[in-house]
Amino acid sequence: MKHIFLNLKRFDITPEHGGVNRLAEPAAWGEAVTSSIKDVAAHYADAEFAAFLPEAHLIGAVAGAAGSPLGVGCQGVHTADTAPGGNFGAFTTLRTGNAVAQLGCTWALIGHCEERMNLRAIMDEAGAAPDAVEAAVNRVLAREVAAAQAAGLTVLFCMGEREEEVDSWEEVLTAQLTGGLEGADLSRVRVAYEPVWSIGPGKTPADAPYIQKVARLIKATLPGVDVVYGGGLKADNAQMLAGIPEIDGGLIALTRFTGEIGFYPEEYAEIVKLYLEA
């Protein structure tokens, strides 16, 4: 099965405030996103679709996806949660798995490079030794995965190497997989590979042979787990990615990166078509 994921991060902010939301007023943005793409998900019955949005938009997004196979997910969960006879809700500022599941979510995105960056910054601020930081980040993410799955959520687990880690990519990525998914129910995990070193303006995108060798490593480390390209499924790389047998789908962010940058449903539909019908 192929998998098409959408992660819109903090793309709900309008251009006059420095954002790229040209789709709808912020209060209606979540529902506008999912209602505009649910027919695409329904069209491809042999593929799995999910959209990940900031928490404020999840109720609207779930409503917009109603009656379709489009799943809705949050962008991370806390490592602990409510439980009968235990903590009944003292999680100020923290997003728990049970909370988003009760909003109607069925997915959680965990380990995105921006989440990893934030965890590293906190540990650096605390004076943690550099060689201990990555192992600690992996342990925290493993607890998030466990909490998400305990709440009934399927996990899209993101991983990838930074520029300074390219020479040791195999060691770094293996540690992220084995550490971050320790104890996880792998039947409810999809892995998204983000080559962090190649993402962003002025950087050279990872090519097919590089993506393929990483996907092979992931599948050798976690047999049976599907792997999607998390570095951005776009119109200009959809056919290339479709030609890599070890890649089972992709993660779309924005659909337009020049001019009026933003997410446009008609461009999303075209990207999906280019990939799934390649």
Which amino acids are annotated catalytic?
A: 112, 194
Cα distances (Å, whole numbers) of residue 246 to 178, 229, 239: 19, 10, 14
SS3 state of residue 38: helix
Is-contact 266 258, C-beta < 8 A? no
CB-count exposure of residue 219 (10 Å: 0-12, 13-18, 19+):
middle
Helices (H), the chain: 29-43, 58-65, 97-102, 113-125, 130-150, 169-180, 208-221, 238-242, 265-276
Is-contact 207 241, C-beta < 8 A? no
**Buried (b) or exposed (e) across 148-185, using 16+ Cβ within 10 A?**
bbebebbbbbbbbbbeebeeebeebbebbbebbbeebe
Is-contact 158 111, C-beta < 8 A? yes
Residues comprising the chain, all counted: 278
Cα distances (Å, whole numbers) of residue 13 to 10, 26, 30, 56, 263: 7, 7, 12, 12, 12
Distance CA 187, CA 170 (A): 23
